[in-house]
Structure 1
Amino acid sequence: MTAGKTRARRGGRRTGSDGGGNRAKASERRATRVRVSRKLKRIQSDDRNDLKPLHLDNIDMGLSHNDVAAQIRVWQFGSGTATPGPGKPESLSLYSFLILWSAVTEDGSPAPIRDVAHAMRYRLTQESAEKLGITDDVYLLTDGRTFWDVKNTDEEETVTFEVSPDALYGRAHSAYTRLMKLVEPYPRVATQHARAIMDVEADVEALESSGFADNMRARMLWLMNAIVHGSLFRFNRAQRRVLLRHWRGSVAIDGTNVPAYAAKFTGGVRKEFRGIRSRKRHHAEAMAGWYVRTGDHGGLTDDGTAPVSDAALKKALWAYEATIAVTVDDANADDAQRVPCLVFGISFDAPAFRIGENSLTALEALAKVASNHDISPGSVVADRAIMPNAKPEKFKEPARKMGFKSCHDYTVNQLGKMAGPIGTIMVEGRLRCPGMPEAQIDATKNFRARQEADAEEPIPEEQSDDAESAEPDGTYRQQLDRRAMFNIKTDGPANRDGEIRISCPATDPHGNVRCPLRELVVSKIENRAQKAKFEAIMNDGRTRVDVENPPDEAVAGEICLAHQASHKVKLDEVTGKYHQDYEYKSPEWQRMYGKREHVETFNKDVKEDGLDDTKRRRGRGMAKQAIATALFFALTNVKRIRAYLNVHRIEHGPIPTDPGPTPLKRRYSDTTTSDEDLAPPNQVAA
């Protein structure tokens, strides 16, 4: 090959008598060639069926529960009933676009904008088009007729429209962009092409310091949860009663990865390039992060103190993380009281960011659904990254104030003895007698050590949760039974303020220990009635375990030395963080903690329904990814609800009709909510 030809292949300059002429002809061909965009190829008639009017009506009914149409108009115009100002009117309202986006997502369509444009023209009935407020020119043909004149005939595939496919796509794209602009926390941060790290960091800092990102993120999360709630409220009241009749308010919370549209092992910023105004390139989906299967999902162990293994890091994905709250059974529910596992709360962020806040957002959204159906809070179960390792004031304390009980596991460094109030000790979530033997205090540590010793190979990190929540062996079970004898007696679970009334198990009628220190204290009581009461309790003939190593009187706390029968104490920062309402590793705890498996099952289903297909979520930006994610979770909810109701019909017969108040016949974009019911335009509705 000559040197000239080599340069030509590499883009160099080639000389020759006809070189200039060939280039001119090629330029002319490129200029005259008509190229149809790939995005428009499917905006033409095909064999897909119409979107059923009832399906669109149901989507609208579900979203109307939270007045989504009115709220979008508040964000747009400052009032739920306001109309756009002067200028070109909307060719497609944002609410109508959201309904169509939801419909094509549930239909399995791969590209939201293109398939919404296709559905606008080819897959609606005339009545649905009018309800959606789609302008008449979309259906106007060049020969003066309308598409409704030829729909479902042989002419349908050959007609020419006044509004071109390109213009129709533009209308759908405009609605998509305008909707996302109303809820995007980080506009212009996610781009089609990677930018310098320093530029991305500067934009993010400006948006967060001004408060813009927080306000818009609250909008985004509100809309996500309105979409998820809509999957339930598209069913009538009788159906919802059947669906939730056995639910007692218990919930499992966990996070799942939402992969960004990116090649594997691309993205991210190495630590040495963060915050130093580096010109190296950031990933285009800049607000995502590395998702690691184990630990806190951000590259650290559950307690955030050490990095996970290199093997786990190699499996990391560049992704967002959706935190979801899933309905689960109570610990004591039998097979006849099973509830369908549904997502009623969701949050969205980068992996391992704001773990407590995101979990609380999901829990509050679920609690709103429970309250709407007069269901009291039950128990909340979560992995160790959420409980107990998230800051208590970010999740556990607010959850307790809402009325939820807690059930969770512990890492190795959280096992054993901690100081409790007024001289008690806390061992794995419960207040205990300070005279408890060391064998019982370290029972779980010893059990885990035996697990490791018996294993032929170290337990992989991704299986550590399963191993540590396994059914105890015989020796461990005996230690747990003995340990329960040393429990400080209470008159019930801690209240919403973390207050609890406790008493020494040696002088409590339901106690199980005999303590020489407590007997000495009782012998010194001068009040005869009080002394006689305690002596009667200590000599009531109950089988009690002897406290062989009570604390010295000089260092004992109030629980041992006080003359009163009970004490009202408040869980402090440490005991409140590690306290839980289930006896750790008890059969009841095992059943409740095992409900976490339902989250994994739901995650598997939603990914099979399309969430794992990044080609169906190609839009760049946190809001675009978040709203698409909410639509997929709503889709899985609807599938599960329909399956549950179908089984109920087979086993118990048809469900009586109770649709609730008859909705007004209106366009989807209209609203019947007054301005006074809505948040001010400069305030985000939560």
Structure 2
Amino acid sequence: MTSRLQRHARIANLRSRRQSVGDEEVQTVLAHLDDCDLIEDVEALVMKWTGRKRNISVRGLLVGMFLASNRNRGSVILTHVADLLAFSLSDTMREELEVHRYPDNDRGFEAIYAVVRRLFKAIVKEVDPSPLPKGRRLDLDVVAELLASADHSELADRRELMLTIANKILGTSLLDAQPLLEETPNGSAVVDATVFGTYSKGLGRESTVTATDPEAGWYVRTTKHKDPLALDGLAPTPSRQQKKGAKQPKEKDRVKKKLYGYDATLIVFRNPDHHGAPLPDGSADPDVVPALILAMSVEKPSCRPGEAAVEALRHVDPRYARNFLAGDRLFNSQSEDIFQLPIRAMGYQPVYDYSKDQLGAHGDIGGAQLVEGNWYCPSMPAELITATHDLVVTETIDQQTWINRIRARTAYLLMPKQATDAEGHRRMMCPAEAKRTQCPLKPHTLGRGIHLPLVDPVPRPEGPPKVCEKHSLTVPPEAGAKLWQPLQYGTAEWQRVYFRLRNSTEGMNGFAKDPLRERIEPGGTRRIRGIAAQTILLAFQLAHANKRKLQSWADAVALNGDRPRRRPTRRRQTKALGTWTPTGYIATA
């Protein structure tokens, strides 16, 4: 039998194998923090003018959090942060980071953990956009009183601070790739909201108290919804079996997924000019930077999606080129003052798909009609106007007929005469003036050949519309802003841009939710309640996902003609893109 002295010696040997952190790694983290000015911003929030000096600096805490994130696949656990700072750094680094020295025993660990926890909570308190206490259930009447007495202007300022800190943490993952991103000419992006859980048990809507994380909400996805959109007002279905004889819900209304947490609105970079497939030799293309998360915002599921998207876009580095911005149907259903006009003011051009009630003609200006996001001639044939409706809703035409009609629309498309001015106005020519059609209302356009369609103007009691009487028409930015997009809907160019961007964000969401990697969806990876703490900890996980994506891409590139360190992930055999969209949206070869 092993003696107690021998057992203690073996246990001491196990305890001595704590992994140390090299000074070079710490210096690398400090350099990244200095480049993004994160330390100065956080120090300004928790600066103390009186009282006893802290046993750890803000600089030390942030370094410890980044080191813990690197070792825990993005997750930041404060116990691990405390252990790294107190017992894994060299004495030189500990002094530089102003971390007090503690004995390597239970009391020493509890002391450093209390110091780390207090400083982190002090930072969270200064950027918390909610007046509600966390960690306990509150009566709804108390919640109403706290919200009514809160200074909402101050809470809005705190939210902006919260997003600034989170996006600077995220931005550290892009510093090494920043020159590559700046050199990308087509700096397009896609906005999407993905759900992630919080470390709190959600309650049903019949409850008279809040959950211990009161700012979170329920995300519910039913089987009739293909897009992962949060549905407002839906409570989770009871986990207990329904009573015998109770009416069963319809198949399309059954809950497929439910989660109590938040929506992370992510801005994902992608250049749609390239497909991103490996080169013929199997290595990655060095000219195609992989999809990366540029910015983020966090909000309650299905709450203020347009505002949250604009908040995230404001934190995109202005040095990156801005071109197309794709989004699912959740975003083009927003009010134009909230989403569509602000993103255009920031330099983005929207690229949308449309729901069934948005197909066909919706809006006009000077007689020109807005059909699925584009301005067309007032006399465009009716079968071309209803082409997508006939394919998707009534199913009276087949895919090839739809493709032919989309192509035929091009002849009736209003063409730009001048570039868009600083205020968003643009002069547009009718298709007859642009030499795409022939129109009896403009005799000088006749006789150009039978290859150009002859417009059949619709008689109007008030006379020809304005666009038919003048050479050009000024289209202001607010005209049809809710559904307008620059690319002609349904064309090959629209398909290339929209689907490549949309596939990028779905792929990035799955990449960050990998259960063996960052696993951002479960709440157990962020065990502190409150939207501020959840946002900051999520930023570390997303930053780790960016760094992992960049590292995988760099390892798969054949540098200087040598073999790559590793091959790109072999693509699995999957269904065609058209499987996930309304019939006919992908043109056949």
TM over 0.5: yes
1:296 and 1:355, CA in 2 relative to 1: closer, same or farther beyond 3 A?
farther
Q: CA deviation at 1:260?
A: 1.4
> Is the Cα contact below 8 Å between 2:191 and 2:326 reproduced in 1?
yes
- Of residues 424, 429, 434, the one that matches 1:498 is 424
In structure 1, C-alpha distance between the alignment counterparts of 2:388 and 2:105, rounded to whole Å: 75
- Of residues 357, 361, 364, the one that matches 2:314 is 364
- Of residues 589, 592, 604, the one that matches 2:510 is 604
In structure 1, C-alpha distance between the alignment counterparts of 2:159 and 2:251, rounded to whole Å: 33
> Is the Cα contact below 8 Å between 1:426 and 1:432 reproduced in 2?
yes
1:332 and 1:116, CA in 2 relative to 1: closer, same or farther beyond 3 A?
closer
In structure 1, C-alpha distance between the alignment counterparts of 2:19 and 2:394, rounded to whole Å: 61
> Is the Cα contact below 8 Å between 1:258 and 1:319 reproduced in 2?
yes
1:212-291 → structure 2 map (5 Å cutoff):
212-233=154-175, 235=176, 240-242=178-180, 245-246=183-184, 248-263=186-201, 266-270=202-206, 280-291=208-219
- Please give the secondary structure, in 2, of the residue aligned with 1:544: coil
2:24 is aligned with 1:54: yes
Matched AA of 1:411: S
- Of residues 485, 490, 499, the one that matches 1:580 is 485
> Is the Cα contact below 8 Å between 1:184 and 1:217 reproduced in 2?
yes
2:290 is aligned with 1:340: yes
- Of residues 608, 618, 640, the one that matches 2:527 is 618
- Of residues 112, 118, 133, the one that matches 2:77 is 112
In structure 1, C-alpha distance between the alignment counterparts of 2:65 and 2:298, rounded to whole Å: 19
Q: CA deviation at 1:310?
A: 6.8
1:269 and 1:607, CA in 2 relative to 1: closer, same or farther beyond 3 A?
same
User: Cα deviations across residues 275-317 of structure 1 (Å, max 9, x unaligned)?
Assistant: xxxxx1211111011113456833159xxxxxx9973646221
Q: CA deviation at 1:651?
A: 5.5
Matched AA of 1:382: G
1:620-639 → structure 2 map (5 Å cutoff):
620-639=529-548
Unaligned runs of 5+ in 1: 1-43, 78-83, 142-158, 274-279, 302-307, 455-471, 520-534, 656-686
- Please give the secondary structure, in 2, of the residue aligned with 1:513: coil
Find runs of 4+ consecutive structure 1 residues off by over 6 angstroms.
none
**Which residue is equivalent to 2:321?**
376
- Please give the secondary structure, in 1, of the residue aligned with 2:427: strand
- Please give the secondary structure, in 2, of the residue aligned with 1:317: strand
In structure 1, C-alpha distance between the alignment counterparts of 2:416 and 2:179, rounded to whole Å: 36
Q: CA deviation at 1:101?
A: 1.3
1:111 and 1:421, CA in 2 relative to 1: closer, same or farther beyond 3 A?
closer
Matched AA of 2:211: H
- Please give the secondary structure, in 2, of the residue aligned with 1:315: strand
- Of residues 57, 61, 69, the one that matches 1:93 is 57
In structure 1, C-alpha distance between the alignment counterparts of 2:263 and 2:16, rounded to whole Å: 36
**Which residue is equivalent to 2:242?**
none
**Which residue is equivalent to 1:127?**
92
> Is the Cα contact below 8 Å between 1:197 and 1:281 reproduced in 2?
yes
User: Cα deviations across residues 249-268 of structure 1 (Å, max 9, x unaligned)?
Assistant: 100110111111245xx325
2:508 is aligned with 1:590: no
- Please give the secondary structure, in 1, of the residue aligned with 2:130: coil
- Please give the secondary structure, in 2, of the residue aligned with 1:343: strand
In structure 1, C-alpha distance between the alignment counterparts of 2:510 and 2:28, rounded to whole Å: 26
2:466 is aligned with 1:558: yes
- Please give the secondary structure, in 1, of the residue aligned with 2:268: strand
1:45 and 1:176, CA in 2 relative to 1: closer, same or farther beyond 3 A?
farther
> Is the Cα contact below 8 Å between 2:189 and 2:325 reproduced in 1?
yes
In structure 2, C-alpha distance between the alignment counterparts of 1:341 and 1:599, rounded to whole Å: 8
Q: CA deviation at 1:481?
A: 1.1
In structure 1, C-alpha distance between the alignment counterparts of 2:449 and 2:194, rounded to whole Å: 54
**Which residue is equivalent to 1:543?**
451
> Is the Cα contact below 8 Å between 1:62 and 1:229 reproduced in 2?
no
Matched AA of 1:119: L
**Which residue is equivalent to 2:438?**
514
1:240 and 1:381, CA in 2 relative to 1: closer, same or farther beyond 3 A?
same
User: Cα deviations across residues 316-353 of structure 1 (Å, max 9, x unaligned)?
Assistant: 21110110101111346675542211111111111122
**Which residue is equivalent to 1:32?**
none
In structure 2, C-alpha distance between the alignment counterparts of 1:551 and 1:579, rounded to whole Å: 27
- Please give the secondary structure, in 1, of the residue aligned with 2:36: coil
> Is the Cα contact below 8 Å between 1:401 and 1:496 reproduced in 2?
no
> Is the Cα contact below 8 Å between 2:369 and 2:375 reproduced in 1?
yes
In structure 1, C-alpha distance between the alignment counterparts of 2:361 and 2:276, rounded to whole Å: 35
Q: CA deviation at 1:645?
A: 2.4
2:230 is aligned with 1:298: yes
**Which residue is equivalent to 1:11?**
none
1:390 and 1:65, CA in 2 relative to 1: closer, same or farther beyond 3 A?
farther
User: Cα deviations across residues 376-409 of structure 1 (Å, max 9, x unaligned)?
Assistant: 31111111111x1122222221221222111111
Unaligned runs of 5+ in 2: 1-13, 234-249, 278-284, 565-589
> Is the Cα contact below 8 Å between 2:76 and 2:540 reproduced in 1?
no
Matched AA of 1:224: A
**Which residue is equivalent to 2:335?**
391
Q: CA RMSD in A?
A: 2.8
1:56 and 1:496, CA in 2 relative to 1: closer, same or farther beyond 3 A?
farther
User: Which one has the bigger helix percentage?
Assistant: 1
Question: TM-score scaled by structure 1?
Answer: 0.70
- Bigger Cα displacement from structure 2, 345-354 vs 310-319: 310-319
1:85 and 1:351, CA in 2 relative to 1: closer, same or farther beyond 3 A?
same
In structure 2, C-alpha distance between the alignment counterparts of 1:182 and 1:547, rounded to whole Å: 64
- Please give the secondary structure, in 1, of the residue aligned with 2:147: helix
User: Cα deviations across residues 468-503 of structure 1 (Å, max 9, x unaligned)?
Assistant: xxxx82010011111121111223665553311112
1:53 and 1:361, CA in 2 relative to 1: closer, same or farther beyond 3 A?
farther
In structure 1, C-alpha distance between the alignment counterparts of 2:29 and 2:419, rounded to whole Å: 41
**Which residue is equivalent to 2:241?**
none
In structure 2, C-alpha distance between the alignment counterparts of 1:313 and 1:639, rounded to whole Å: 33
In structure 2, C-alpha distance between the alignment counterparts of 1:297 and 1:204, rounded to whole Å: 27
1:654 and 1:95, CA in 2 relative to 1: closer, same or farther beyond 3 A?
farther
- Bigger Cα displacement from structure 2, 404-413 vs 545-554: 545-554
In structure 2, C-alpha distance between the alignment counterparts of 1:296 and 1:501, rounded to whole Å: 39
> Is the Cα contact below 8 Å between 2:198 and 2:522 reproduced in 1?
no
- Please give the secondary structure, in 2, of the residue aligned with 1:568: strand
In structure 1, C-alpha distance between the alignment counterparts of 2:535 and 2:30, rounded to whole Å: 20
1:75 and 1:111, CA in 2 relative to 1: closer, same or farther beyond 3 A?
closer
User: Cα deviations across residues 136-159 of structure 1 (Å, max 9, x unaligned)?
Assistant: x32xx5xxxxxxxxxxxxxxxxx6
1:90 and 1:261, CA in 2 relative to 1: closer, same or farther beyond 3 A?
same
Identity level (%): 22
- Of residues 136, 160, 166, the one that matches 2:110 is 166
2:163 is aligned with 1:198: no
Number of corresponding residues? 518
1:491 and 1:49, CA in 2 relative to 1: closer, same or farther beyond 3 A?
farther
> Is the Cα contact below 8 Å between 1:117 and 1:168 reproduced in 2?
yes
Q: Kindly name which structure, 1 or 2, has the bigger radius of gyration based on alpha carbons.
A: 1
In structure 2, C-alpha distance between the alignment counterparts of 1:505 and 1:160, rounded to whole Å: 81
- Of residues 359, 383, 386, the one that matches 1:415 is 359
In structure 2, C-alpha distance between the alignment counterparts of 1:434 and 1:285, rounded to whole Å: 54
- Bigger Cα displacement from structure 2, 395-404 vs 439-448: 395-404
In structure 2, C-alpha distance between the alignment counterparts of 1:226 and 1:618, rounded to whole Å: 22
In structure 2, C-alpha distance between the alignment counterparts of 1:572 and 1:613, rounded to whole Å: 41
- Of residues 646, 656, 662, the one that matches 2:555 is 646
**Which residue is equivalent to 2:415?**
489
> Is the Cα contact below 8 Å between 2:361 and 2:370 reproduced in 1?
yes
